[in-house]
Amino acid sequence: MPKIYPDPESEKAIMGSLVFCIHHKQGCKWSDELRKLKAHLNTCKHDAIQCPNKCGSQIPRVMMTDHLAFTCILRRAICEFCNVEFTGIGLEEHAGTCSSEPIYCESKCGTRVLRGRMSIHRAKDCAKRLRRCPHCGREFSADTLAAHGATCPRSPVPCPQRCDAGPFARAELDAHLRDECKALTVPCTFKEAGCRFKGPRHLLEAHLEANTSAHLSLMVALSGRQGQQINMLKSAMAKLSTNYTGTLLWKITDWSVKMQEAKTKDGLELVSPPFYTSQYGYKLQASMFLNGNGPGEGTHVSVYIKVLPGEYDALLKWPFSHSVTFTLFEQGTLGSGGGGQGGVAESFVPDPTWENFQRPSTEPDALGFGFPRFVSHELLNRRPFVRDDTVFLRVKVDPSKIVAV
Ligand SMILES: [Zn+2]
Ligand SMILES: [Zn+2]
Ligand SMILES: [Zn+2]
Ligand SMILES: [Zn+2]
Ligand SMILES: [Zn+2]
Ligand SMILES: [Zn+2]
Ligand SMILES: [Zn+2]
């Protein structure tokens, strides 16, 4: 500063006078001797100066460092990724587009790639890029395609039996093994009948041709075994339906046809289903001559009971001595008042000396014991014994020996 003061004393006085900062009105609180003002202005934060880059901004001295480094649009700035030098405003435009900046892949594969190489990465390297399975055509991300290949139903696999055919789509392998693979070991078609042959499918035909008669024998034996099983089942079924109550209600249908037949054929006998007197009792069977026999022949219906060889005969008392009652029911008279069901009834208690009631041999007598003149044809026609061409005969066996009708 030029010395304009006339004398050192007055200069000293002036320079020593108290002043405020020239930016007092902008809020600077500084106040001191005039001679210190210049030094203050160098640090006064309200003292704006021109940006040295000539960007046109007035910047408070204290902000200038920041301005030059970060906000001056004409500052010199170098992109940290591509090292190209820009003005500040140029760098702002460049940021976010620099092709040398590493960024995360948008497909979220987790890789960082230079922005400029992203499209190549996504097309060729990215683990998440979609790829089409060449066998089934479905799309998978590249990192799961290999795993899919191990299970893809259309991917070709060789026959595990190493036959000549194939390779096959994985999904068709089962059908190949089951239906056509020539190398697969198969059992003989007659396995169920007992043939033990096992071999590659292409040898089966020769085996079948060479063993026709052996297979036939196996089949005969098998059908024999099956026949036995059927018989066992039949007798089990018969047992299930066997009557063990001691009372047989024998329903005889098509009465007129049977009567007609009996009149033309001598000695025609109808037999009832066998029944037991109790669960472990005697096995009995009733029989009927529609046109009579013996003293009733031609005029009466005869009824008989015979003892059949039963399963528990060895444990039973012989001779058979239960009372037996035959009842032929009139039909449609039930509830007509005065004595209930009408009908014809006959009973007997076996005489211990009668041959018919000894323990039966396996070939029992043809004829049992009964009533040759049980009911006359004349009575049969007069009373309602036959209804809907059907007759009911009850045979009741009673161990009490009391004859009750
Ligand atoms: Zn100031
Ligand atoms: Zn500037
Ligand atoms: Zn850059
Ligand atoms: Zn990626
Ligand atoms: Zn596939
Ligand atoms: Zn095969
Ligand atoms: Zn065989």
pLDDT digits (tens, 9 = 90+) for 196-247: 999 888 888 899 999 999 999 999 999 999 999 999 999 888 888 889 999 9
How confident is the model at residue 356, as a pLDDT?
72
- pLDDT of 337 higher than 70: no
What phi and psi, each to the nearest 5 degrees, are found at residue 381?
-85, -25
CA distances from 350 to 69, 294, 360 (A): 139, 20, 15
pLDDT at 340 over 50: no
Question: What is the reported pLDDT for 257?
Answer: 95
Phi, psi dihedrals of residue 116, rounded to the nearest 5°: -70, -15
Q: Distance from the CA of 116 to the center of ligand 3, in angstroms?
A: 11
Ligand 3 centre and the CA of 293: distance in Å? 130
Rounded average pLDDT over 85-93: 87
DSSP output for 171-201: GGHHHIIIII-SSSEEE-TTGGGT---EEEH
Ligand 5 geometric centre to CA of 123 (Å): 20
* pLDDT at position 209: 94
Rounded to the nearest integer, the mean pLDDT of the chain is 87
Between the CA of 112 and the centroid of ligand 5 the distance, in Å, is 30
Q: How far is the CA of 94 from the centre of ligand 2 (A)?
A: 19
State the pLDDT confidence band at 299, using cuts at 50, 70 and 90. very high
**pLDDT value, residue 405:** 47
- Selection from 380, 271, 386, 369 nearest residue 321 by Cα: 369
Helix (H) or strand (E) holding 284, with range, is: strand 283-289
Count the helix, strand and coil residues of the chain and give each as a percent rounded to the nearest 5: 35, 25, 45
- Residue range 247-334+341-398 forms a domain whose CATH class is mainly beta
CA of 80 to the centre of ligand 3 (A): 6
Q: Which ligand is nearest to the CA of 186?
A: 7
Query: Is the pLDDT confidence value at 352 over 60?
Result: yes
Distance 331 CA to ligand 7 centre (A): 64
Nearest ligand to the CA of 109 is 4
pLDDT for position 300: 95
Q: Which residues have their alpha-adjacent CB atom under 5 A from ion ligand 2? A: 51, 53, 55, 57, 72
Which ligand is closest to the CA of 24, given by its number?
A: 1
The 10s digit of each residue's pLDDT in 163-190 is 888 788 999 988 988 888 888 888 999 9
pLDDT at 154: 92
Q: Residue 324: what pLDDT?
A: 93
Ligand 3 centroid vs 87 CA: distance in angstroms?
Answer: 12
- Of all ligands present, the nearest one to the C-alpha of 194 is 7
- From the CA of 63, how far away is ligand 1's center (Å)? 14
Interval between CA 207 and ligand 7 midpoint (Å): 6
Position with higher pLDDT, 161 vs 81? 81
Q: How many CB atoms lie within 10 A of CB 279?
A: 10
Distance 320 CA to ligand 6 centre (A): 74
First to last CA, the chain: 164
Cα–ligand 5 centroid distance for 36 (angstroms): 87
- Predicted confidence at residue 341, as pLDDT, reads 59
What was the pLDDT predicted at 266? 84
Ligand nearest to C-alpha 117:
4
Q: Which CATH code fits 14-74?
A: 3.30.40
pTM over cut 0.75: no
Based on C-alpha coordinates, what's the Rg of the chain? 62
